[in-house]
Amino acid sequence: MKTVSIEKRVYALLLDGIFLSILFTLLSSLIDFNSYKIDSFVLFNREWVVSYSIRFIVFFVYFITFDIFGHGSSFGKQIMKLQIVNCDDTKASTSKLIYRTILKSFLLFTFLMPILLLYYLLKKEVYYDKILKISVKKI
């Protein structure tokens, strides 16, 4: 297997985004995708709202499902012929794939996204893949 460029990974993520957008459009008549307020608090004279989004939950379930049943290949990765594997090219365990989705979801949907991008530009590797000792390879 050959290590893939960030461009191929971005294309796969864009394909997943298109697929999820179509899924959201089809489900929007059945599900309210608004955010739901859990709690609020005041900090620095400003009210901050803690909420969850059904879109985030669907995103999370989508990637967890593909990680488990797609053996580390989401819809976009399957089209781009990519797969998540251990750094020694062996099959990544289900627990590693789930941890990866949790880390990716948390890091990409928080204020840490710019830090991840800077890390990639400096190190030429994805931080959450480095932590878990996995990589995305061409199959």
Which residues of the chain have a pLDDT value below 50? Answer: none
- Mean pLDDT of all residues belonging to the chain: 83
pLDDT at site 75: 92
pLDDT at site 18: 94
Q: What is the pTM of this model?
A: 0.76
pLDDT at site 50: 66
- 42-70 in b/e form (b: 16+ CB < 10 A) is eeeeeeeeeeeeeeeebbbebbbebbeeb
pLDDT at site 51: 65
pLDDT at site 2: 59
